[in-house]
Amino acid sequence: MYRKRRPDRTDCGVVLRWSSHPRCVALARLELRKALADWGLSELEDSAVLLVSELLSNAGRHARLKPEQVIETRYFRSSGGLRIEVHDGSPVRPQPQVPDPEAPDGRGLLLVEALADEWGVADRAGPGKMVWASLSVPVVRPSERDCS
């Protein structure tokens, strides 16, 4: 079903490996929630778990992995927020598409584009690619604070 390695946790990063089984997406969200809580970044949780869901689902659905290959998620805390990376062994790069209004899917990268401050695709060491997205902690200006 899935292969989950014990998370490699550091003060600023978590690295996990998954099979392409759809059940792994929920487990990846759980691990991300734990990391965000540890880092004091829970305010990013809603957007972050949706981003990892979309990126990991895309990798599992489209990466065409060999049985011995895994998908890797990496979560990194940065000074301004969070970076999510999903690594897979497929060279095929995701492309946002105009979704068919009648189709139940095809909107994932549009959601990523809407939620992430930045996102992209990059080569990685070895075969495949890395799809990444970053989120910034919202800056609250003094005039926006509740004064009650």
Tens digit of each residue's pLDDT (9 = 90 or more) over 27-84: 999 999 999 999 999 999 999 999 999 999 988 887 766 666 789 999 999 888 999 9
Residue 24 belongs to some domain of the structure:
yes
The tally of domains found in the chain comes to 1
Residue 31 belongs to some domain of the structure:
yes
**Range of the structural domain that residue 129 is part of:** 8-97+104-137
CATH number of the structural domain spanning residue 57: 3.30.565.10
Residue 146 belongs to some domain of the structure:
no
Residue 1 belongs to some domain of the structure:
no
What are the structure tokens assigned to 108, written together? 């994932």
Residue 33 belongs to some domain of the structure:
yes
Q: How confident is the model over 135-144, as pLDDT tens digits?
A: 999 877 666 5
- H-assigned helices in 2-126: 23-39, 45-62, 108-115
pTM: 0.82
C-alpha 118/C-alpha 94 separation (Å) is: 15
Residue 80 belongs to some domain of the structure:
yes
List CB contacts of 139: < 8 A, sequence separation 6 or more: none
Residue 3 belongs to some domain of the structure:
no
What one-character DSSP code corresponds to residue 143?
A: G
Bridge partners of 17, per DSSP, are: 72
